[in-house]
Amino acid sequence: MAVSDLVLLEADHTRFASILDRLRHDSNAKVVFLIDKNGQQLATAGDLTGLDPTSLASLTAGNVAATDGLAKLLGEREFSILFHEGEHDNLHINVVSGKAILVVIFDERSSLGLVRLRVKKSTTELGTILDDIVARSQSQRASAVGSFAPFAEITDDDIDALFS
């Protein structure tokens, strides 16, 4: 495969969670998600009751991917911010370092201006962590030493057992 796998360590998740928690609190948001551009959920903050995070991550990634396609058609590098206004809840979507997507769900207890202000600061911090993760994955791949993959020692029996 031409691209590196994405490996999220517990320390990475803790750093993400801390930033998302603070963002949710400072922006009075309901829920904050961080997902990768392939639709995988990296971290969340807030009450997920009634929400399907897997579907949300996949649809948001598709939304951003389609928007990226539109941007290229128009000669733009990307449309880094999307905003969807609903009757009760609103969705603010922000691309972080070109690698991940920050989703903020908020209602009348917050405002678009406040969310955008708080997101701007968080984006910088999240981008730094993402850059570290990517650099680490690429370094691991290049050195081919100490692979993070937990599957280095799996057997064919392990795989067959999944289907039994």
Partner 1 sequence: MTFINYAAREINCKIVYYGPGLCGKTTNIQFIFDKTGAGAKGKLISLATESERTLFFDFLPIELGTIRGFRTRFHLYTVPGQVFYDASRKLILKGVDGIVFVADSQEARMDANVESIRNLKENLAEHGYSIDKVPYVLQLNKRDLPTAVAVPELVRALRFRNEPVFEAVASKGSGVFETLKAVVKGVLVDLKSR
Under the binding rule (CB under 8 A), the answer on residue 142 touching partner 1 is no
Beta bridge partners, 34, equal 43, 102
* Separation of alpha carbons 115 and 31, rounded Å: 12
Q: Identify the residue whose tokens are 């904050």.
A: 32
In the list 47, 52, 76, 107, the residue contacting partner 1 (rule: CB under 8 A) is: 52
Shortest Å distance, C-beta 84 to partner 1 = 16
Under the binding rule (CB under 8 A), the answer on residue 97 touching partner 1 is no
Pairing of β 31-36 and β 100-106: antiparallel
Under the binding rule (CB under 8 A), the answer on residue 54 touching partner 1 is yes
* Separation of alpha carbons 12 and 7, rounded Å: 9
- List residues binding partner 1 (CB under 8 A): 1-10, 12-14, 36-40, 52, 54-55, 58-59, 62, 65-66, 68-69, 147-154, 156, 158-159, 161-163
